[in-house]
Copies of this chain bind each other. A is one copy, B any other.
């Protein structure tokens, strides 16, 4: 194994000089820099992460807590993760994967053992049980999602309340009076996942404000689930002319089943989806949608984490405004 001392010897300087060349925390003559860099390359030197962490109390690792529930939309989660890894790597940070299963103890372990410097937590619940631990850890933390009581923790998410409002307003403006909300899986509601409730709130408030009629139900992520949803919904209110789909996992099934029932989209039933743009456009009819900006959110989450690592930062809740793109499924 090549150590900093090997490099120092090869370059004819002291270990500390090599360290300073690497960190740039001290002025080094160009000539010395060159010699050191060259020795580093020649020897194939890689600074030992453990030693570095020990001496500097910095691991350059961010722990990422992600959900693995099947009822969640994996493609979206993956998009998040993908952009986060990229963003983190672009700043010299690595990502450590944790699951929700580890619970509060897992968070404590990772921070206590100095495995990671910071935490990004996805799949936040309204009454998020990990908040006390997170707060007590006093480490840079970013929640993707907004709990009811963030306790001075930094949060970032799409403004789902506004998204709910946006979809309803769009449909109301088009003249729809009876609309249905196809919500996430019941299990998502059961565990109080924050975005589900927030979207529903925006939806309901706007329905009331505009004097519309609406029904809403969760939907099990399967074809039978969609069938059940439609049966239930259309029976409850046969005059429904529009569906808001806040459940990407069943978008395809929904459209397929609606068409199969002889209903034309958008003539008989208009559809607005809440999902990433590429998914909205991959259906047999391009869907009007409120996009879930997974990439933006992911990048933002990492940036907000890095800012906290750089120094104290005021806690904030950052909500991205929803954007609705009109396509062929509404008229």
Chain A residues at the B interface, C-beta cutoff of 8 Å: 44, 46-54, 59, 61, 64, 68, 70, 74-75, 77-78, 81-82, 85-86, 89, 94-99, 101-102, 108-110, 112-115, 221-223, 227, 252-253, 255-257, 259-260, 278, 281-284
Q: Tell me which of B48, B78, B85 contacts A77 (CB under 8 A).
A: B78
Assuming the contacts A85-B98, A97-B81, A259-B256, asked whether A112 and B50 have C-beta atoms less than 8 A apart, the reply is no
Cα of A187 to Cα of B76 in the assembled complex, Å: 20
In the docked arrangement, what's the CA distance between A282 and B252, Å? 12
Closest to A68 in B: B82
Question: Is A97 within 8 A of B95, CB to CB?
Answer: yes
A282 CB contact (under 8 Å) in B68, B108, B222, B257: B222
> Could you say which residues of chain B place their CB within 8 Å of the CB of A46?
108-109, 112-114
- Closest approach, in angstroms, between the C-beta of A210 and any C-beta of chain B? 32
Chain A interface main SS type: helix
Docked complex Cα distance between A320 and B236 (Å) = 49
Taking A53-B49, A282-B223 as contacts, is the C-beta distance between A101 and B86 under 8 angstroms? yes
Q: Determine how many copies of this chain the complex contains.
A: 2
Contact B50 A223 (CB under 8 A): no
- A sample of 17 cross-chain residue pairs with beta-carbon separation below 8 angstroms, ordered by A number, consists of A50-B50, A50-B52, A50-B54, A51-B54, A61-B96, A68-B78, A85-B97, A85-B98, A89-B99, A95-B96, A96-B96, A96-B97, A223-B252, A253-B283, A253-B284, A256-B260, A256-B284
Q: Which residues of the partner chain B approach A82 to less than 8 Å between Cβ atoms?
A: 68, 99
Q: Which of B49, B78, B227 contacts A114 (CB 8 A)?
A: B49
Which B residues are in CB contact (< 8 Å) with A278?
70
Contacts of A259 in B (CB 8 A): 256, 260
Q: Given A75-B74, A96-B97, A256-B255, are A114 and B223 neighbors across the interface (CB < 8 Å)? A: no
A255 to B284, CA, bound (A): 12
CA distance A223 to B283 in the complex (A): 5
- Please name the residue on chain B nearest to A60 by beta carbon: B115
Contacting residues, chain B, for A89 (C-beta < 8 A) = 99, 102
Interface centre among A44, A49, A108, A113 (most CB of B within 10 A): A49
> Least Cβ distance of A269 to chain B in Å?
16
- CB pair A99 B77 closer than 8 Å: no
Chain B residue at minimum C-beta to C-beta distance from A47 = B113
Chain B residues within an 8 Å CB radius of A99? 82, 85-86, 89
**Shortest Cβ distance from residue A65 to the other chain B in the assembled complex, whole angstroms:** 11
Contact B98 A96 (CB under 8 A): no
Q: Measured between C-beta atoms, what is the minimum distance from A85 to chain B in Å?
A: 5
Residues on B with C-beta less than 8 A from A282 are 221-223, 253
List of B residues within 8 angstroms of A113 by Cβ: 46-49
CA distance A97 to B88 in the complex (A): 11
